[in-house]
Structure formats: C-alpha cells, structure tokens
C-alpha cells in the first residue's frame, strides 16, 4: 500500500534525476503530469522548489529543505511496511567507509547476526561520498563514515575516535620521528582516492597550514589498503592511515609510525542516518 502522497514521490524523482522527462519515465507518468505535481506542491507551500539556471534545473533553498523532509518520510514509510509485515525478517542495510568496513565493523556484524539469525543483512563498503548518496536515496538504513561531511543535513552521532598518523618503512628516515611538512614535501605520498575520509583528513590538515597536495612532487592514488601498505613497506612512499588499519604491521615491525609536528591529526567515525529517522535509536543502540 502506498501511503506517501504521489506528488511527494514525483518531487523525489525530480530531485534524483533533475530532469522532468526522466522523472516522468521513471514514474511511468506523462511529463505534464510531473509538471502538474510540482506546481501543486509549489502552490501548496507558497514557494518555488526548482529553478532553471540557463538550461540546468536547480533546487531552491525551499526545495532543498523539502527534499530533506520527504526523503525521511519515504524511508520511514518503507521501514514501517517491512516492520509491520509479521512474516518479514528483520532487514538491515549498513554502509561503511573502507577503514571501518575492513578493520573495525566485523565484531558488530557478528553480534547482530548471532542475535538475529533470520535477519536480512547487507554491508556496503565504499567511500564517504558514495555512502551518503546511498543513504539519501534510501538504499541504506544508516552509514558509519569517517572524514568530513555536512552534518546539518543528517542525524549524526560521534561513534568513536581513532588515532591517525603517518606510516613508512621501518628503515625510512622519517620512522619514529616528529616531522615537519617541509621534510614531508620531498616524499612520495600514497593516498586513498578523492572522496575518501582518509584522504580528506590529511588534506584538511594541509589546508590548516595553507598548503595543498600540489606542493608535493609525487602523489600516488590507490584505493586498496593492502596495496598501499605493501608499497609503503617496500619503501616506495609514505602514507597516512588510521591505527586499526596498520596496528598489526606496527606490532610486527613491518611498518613504522611518524607524526606531523605542525599539523596534528585525529580521526572521528560517525553514525549517520536521515533526519527524523524513526528507527535511528534502535540502530544506534546496536552500534554501542
């Protein structure tokens, strides 16, 4: 049963496609019907929801606010339908950034699956930017992310803090030292891709010192932690990673730590869901 007003569904479809024709195709409606739905909402709320900049459709400030509320309503309706179906198993769709997904979350997943043996569970590991897109589209119930994002758009709670520092091979000249950015500039940096929380923390530390990655002569971008650590062990560059990612290698002595003297760094992991999520408390309790 569809409870959400069809005009709100139309509004969300236009928000996702930013194109009236594509929204009409997705909803199996005519384009005039889509236009009529949007005009009705604009008249009802007494404001413009979309505007054109040249030929590009944009959301107005009012449209952005309505999108936030409507996404939450659509999500809550979907989850209530699942919850009220007596025969339906518990369903949980979690997204995590790579550090959390590969090195932190496993005990929590095991705890959930043991407590709910019939549950439908999925875990998506991706970078922070893509996870937030999945959350907004209603494909994820909540996400655990690192790095920087617009917290005003979501319900976000600090989950845990982790140390974040430089790593190099044990015989590297930086090993075990407090290092200036001037010393670091001569090194090859091996970093995660743009959009990852790991990279964002390091770039933010540079910005606080009025620097950017352009000040480094060599930057290699690699999305895989195993490859990054292997290259660093072989002395082919240095990287900046969270402690859980390199804890084993540090204990074994195959990697060494160094810290930046003029740009100290610490990372935070956040529990994030849509605003007004009726199930947020349940998920947050599970993560504690």
Cα distances (Å, whole numbers) of residue 105 to 145, 234, 275, 287: 11, 28, 23, 9
Structure tokens at 171: 């015989």
Neighbour tally for 191: CB within 10 Å? 23
Average pLDDT taken over every residue of the chain:
89
Full-model pTM: 0.72
- Taking residues 180-191, what's their average pLDDT? 93
pLDDT digits (tens, 9 = 90+) for 41-95: 999 889 999 999 988 999 999 998 888 888 888 887 777 777 666 565 678 899 9
Distance in angstroms between the alpha carbons of the first and the last residue of the chain: 34
Cross-strand bridge partners of residue 266: 163
Please tell me the CATH code under which domain 89-160+269-287 is placed: 3.40.190.10
- Taking residues 14-32, what's their average pLDDT? 92
Q: What angle is formed at CA 232 by the lines to CA 228 and CA 238, rounded to 5 degrees?
A: 95
Spatial contact of 74 and 4, defined as CB atoms under 8 Å apart: yes
- More reliable by pLDDT, 279 or 107: 107
Q: What is the pLDDT of residue 85?
A: 64
Query: CATH homologous superfamily of domain 161-266?
Result: Periplasmic binding protein-like II (3.40.190.10)
- pLDDT band (50, 70, 90) for residue 217: confident
Q: Which residues make Cβ contacts (< 8 Å) with residue 70, sequence separation at least 6? A: 8, 11, 12
Structure tokens at 76: 């809550």
Q: What is the pLDDT of residue 1?
A: 43
Q: Where in the chain is the domain with CATH 3.40.190.10?
A: 89-160+269-287, 161-266
pLDDT digits (tens, 9 = 90+) for 152-175: 889 899 999 999 999 999 999 999
Class of CATH domain 6-83? mainly alpha
Q: What is the pLDDT of residue 4?
A: 66
Comparing CA positions, the residue from 87, 37, 101 lying closest to residue 66 is 37
Q: What is the pLDDT of residue 150?
A: 87
Q: Where in the chain is the domain with CATH 1.10.10.10?
A: 6-83
């Amino acid at each position: 049963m569809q409870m959400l007003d069809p005009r709100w569904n139309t509004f969300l479809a236009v928000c996702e496609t930013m194109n009236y024709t594509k929204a009409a195709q997705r909803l199996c409606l005519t384009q005039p019907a889509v236009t009529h739905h949007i005009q009705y909402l604009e008249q009802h709320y007494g404001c413009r929801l979309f505007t054109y900049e040249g030929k590009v459709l944009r959301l107005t400030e009012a449209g952005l606010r309505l999108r936030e509320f409507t996404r939450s309503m659509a999500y809550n309706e979907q989850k209530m339908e699942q919850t009220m179906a007596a025969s339906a198993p518990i369903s949980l769709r979690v997204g995590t950034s790579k550090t959390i997904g590969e090195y932190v979350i496993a005990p929590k997943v095991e705890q959930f699956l043991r407590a709910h043996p019939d549950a439908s569970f999925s875990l998506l590991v991706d970078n922070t930017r893509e996870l937030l897109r999945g959350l907004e589209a209603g494909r994820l119930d909540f996400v655990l992310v690192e790095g920087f994002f617009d917290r005003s758009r979501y319900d976000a709670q600090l989950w845990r803090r982790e140390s974040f520092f430089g790593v190099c091979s044990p015989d590297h000249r930086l090993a075990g030292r407090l290092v200036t950015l001037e010393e670091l500039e001569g090194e090859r940096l091996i970093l995660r891709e743009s959009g990852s929380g790991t990279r964002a923390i390091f770039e933010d530390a540079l910005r606080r010192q009025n620097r950017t990655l352009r000040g480094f002569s060599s930057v290699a971008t690699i999305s895989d932690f195993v490859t990054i650590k292997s290259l660093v062990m072989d002395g082919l560059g240095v990287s900046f990673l969270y402690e859980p990612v390199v804890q084993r290698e540090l204990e074994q002595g195959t990697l060494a730590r160094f810290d930046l003297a003029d740009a100290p760094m610490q990372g935070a992991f956040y529990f994030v869901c849509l605003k007004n999520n009726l199930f947020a408390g349940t998920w947050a309790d599970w993560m504690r």
